[in-house]
Amino acid sequence: MAEKKNGKRPVTVPFGTLSINGKSRALVNKVLDSNRVSCGKYVREFEKRFAELVGAKEAVALSSGTDADALALAVLYDFGAHRGDEVIVPALSFVATGNAVLQAGFTSVFVDIERNTLNIDPLKIEAAITNKTRALMPVHLIGKPAAMDAINRIAKRHKLIVIEDAAEAHGAEYKGRNAGTLGDMAAFSLYVAHIITSIEGGIVTTNRKDYAEILRSLRSHGRACKCDKCVLNTASAYCAKRFKYGSSNDIRFVFERIGYSSKMNELEAAIGLGNLSDYHSILARRRKNLGYLTDKFKRFAPYLLTIEAGAKEKIGPHAFPVIIQECAPFTREDMTAYLEKNGVETRTLFSSMPTQCPGYKFLGYELGDFPNAEYIGNNGFHIGVHQDLKQRELDYFLKSVADFLSDKIR
């Protein structure tokens, strides 16, 4: 059981936490008092501040990270894509990545990963490109930046759009640039497990104004309204564009494209704005925790390994991954069961979507098609590095790992 000393509470290492500060609480009350809780001024403020933080020109807030992926892809229809066209994604990711491709009406084409980065193997991408390929969607898994230079070169050569799945990459940097500015668009999750959260929610960043306008249309059923500030949606005011299609065609009810219902609301934006005010301190604490574990974990090689930052990059400190190696005389189930019984909360390190997720059987892939992704799907897990964890908890995790190994390796 979890460690207990001198009658003190047992040490536990929870996977996640949630920070709702005083600013968020005050803003939530303002929103409730205003009776205007749908997408409005606080959502716009959150978008502006998120874009500034990332270093992008535009940000469009949505109802989830999955919607962020899906709507970023749906933008492609305005530029000649057709339903059923192909999007290349890594085989290993949280299933939302693959789901979003299908929800947007495209076909997922999977590529295996590199075990040491957990990200798509750029050397295997071009073999998967066909005349129906429209986009590459690399994932910065567990905050580790994908090999964006190589990916962008491939995309340029084949005239493809690059959409970063940056769901877990808050705070990640690649060669001096932030995740969210490394492709044509980037999709972030704002779910409770992430560094910046609005409880639920997602956001797309881009440097292209036309992409942002289409995204604002897509999130509201595809309607023709797509200004960054909607007068009609925030007050009973005059809008010169309202009847631009004729006196009988209110722009709010002209639908230019097939859209979604995926707006962020004001309450979520209020939580997000408060979270942004604490972002740098939260990021610093998480980065310190990740660095500490990464350094101390080296003693568990060759049985256990983790990922490490490459040259000129910083991992977004979302979580701490552990990959059990072939030489280990135990399974992931053995190890995670031991950790859980001793108060360390774990999560499996996702699965090979096309071959280990039953919902994807219809695509016809077979076990063995993506050996690296499947290996991680069977042998990887991760724990939290969140801002509420102190060195006591981190040392307890390390001691628990050491105790487990001492029992298994003799």
Residues 236 and 88 occupy one common structural domain:
yes
DSSP state of 360: G
Residue 250: pLDDT band with limits 50, 70, 90: confident
Kindly state whether residue 187 falls inside one of the protein's structural domains.
Answer: yes
Residues 271 and 291 occupy one common structural domain:
no
pTM: 0.93
Residues 161 and 29 occupy one common structural domain:
yes
Residue 338 to residues 12, 236, 252, 358, Cα–Cα distance (Å): 13, 60, 57, 27
Kindly state whether residue 14 falls inside one of the protein's structural domains.
Answer: no
Residues 293 and 268 occupy one common structural domain:
no
Last residue of a domain, one of 258, 276, 294: 276
Of 32-41, 203-212, 340-349, the poorest mean pLDDT is in: 32-41
- As a whole number, mean pLDDT of residues 371-391 equals 98
User: Annotated catalytic sites, by residue?
Assistant: 194
pLDDT at 401: 98
Kindly state whether residue 2 falls inside one of the protein's structural domains.
Answer: no
CATH number of the domain enclosing 97:
3.40.640.10
- As a whole number, mean pLDDT of residues 269-277 equals 96
- As a whole number, mean pLDDT of residues 341-347 equals 97
Last residue of a domain, one of 229, 260, 276: 276
Q: Is it the case that residue 138 has pLDDT exceeding 60?
A: yes
Residues 27 and 148 occupy one common structural domain:
yes
Residue 251: pLDDT band with limits 50, 70, 90: confident
For the chain, the domain total comes to 2
CA–CA distance, 395 with 407 (Å, rounded to integer): 18
Residues 136 and 246 occupy one common structural domain:
yes
Residues 239 and 325 occupy one common structural domain:
no
Residues 142 and 206 occupy one common structural domain:
yes
pLDDT at 354: 98
Kindly state whether residue 54 falls inside one of the protein's structural domains.
Answer: yes
Contact in structure between 398 and 296 (CB atoms under 8 Å): yes
Q: Using N-to-C axis directions, what is the helix angle for 22-34 and 266-277, rounded to 10°?
A: 160
Kindly state whether residue 139 falls inside one of the protein's structural domains.
Answer: yes
Backbone angles phi, psi at 189, to 5 degrees: -95, 145
Residues 52 and 191 occupy one common structural domain:
yes
Q: Which residue has the higher pLDDT, 276 or 240?
A: 276
DSSP string, 59-123: EEEESBHHHHHHHHHHGGGGGT--TT-EEEEESEE-THHHHHHHHTT-EEEEE-B-TTT-SB-GG
pLDDT tens digits, one per residue of 5-45 = 555 557 799 999 988 999 999 999 999 999 888 888 999 99
- As a whole number, mean pLDDT of residues 257-281 equals 95
Kindly state whether residue 8 falls inside one of the protein's structural domains.
Answer: no
Which of 96, 34, 64, 383 lies closest to 192 in space, CA to CA?
64
Kindly state whether residue 10 falls inside one of the protein's structural domains.
Answer: no
pLDDT at 252: 76
Which of 344, 338, 337 lies closest to 319 in space, CA to CA?
344
**Mean pLDDT in the chain?**
93
- As a whole number, mean pLDDT of residues 197-213 equals 97
Residues 256 and 314 occupy one common structural domain:
no
pLDDT tens digits, one per residue of 41-96 = 999 999 999 999 999 999 999 999 999 999 999 999 999 999 999 999 999 999 99
Which of 9, 10, 43, 21 lies closest to 267 in space, CA to CA?
43
pLDDT tens digits, one per residue of 144-192 = 999 999 999 999 999 999 999 999 999 999 999 999 999 999 999 999 9
Last residue of a domain, one of 227, 243, 276: 276
Q: Is it the case that residue 225 has pLDDT exceeding 50?
A: yes
CATH number of the domain enclosing 311:
3.90.1150.10
Residues 291 and 264 occupy one common structural domain:
no
pLDDT at 1: 47
pLDDT at 36: 87
pLDDT tens digits, one per residue of 97-120 = 999 999 999 999 999 999 999 999
Residues 264 and 284 occupy one common structural domain:
no
Backbone angles phi, psi at 88, to 5 degrees: -90, 130
DSSP state of 28: H
Boundaries of domain holding 384: 279-408
Kindly state whether residue 307 falls inside one of the protein's structural domains.
Answer: yes
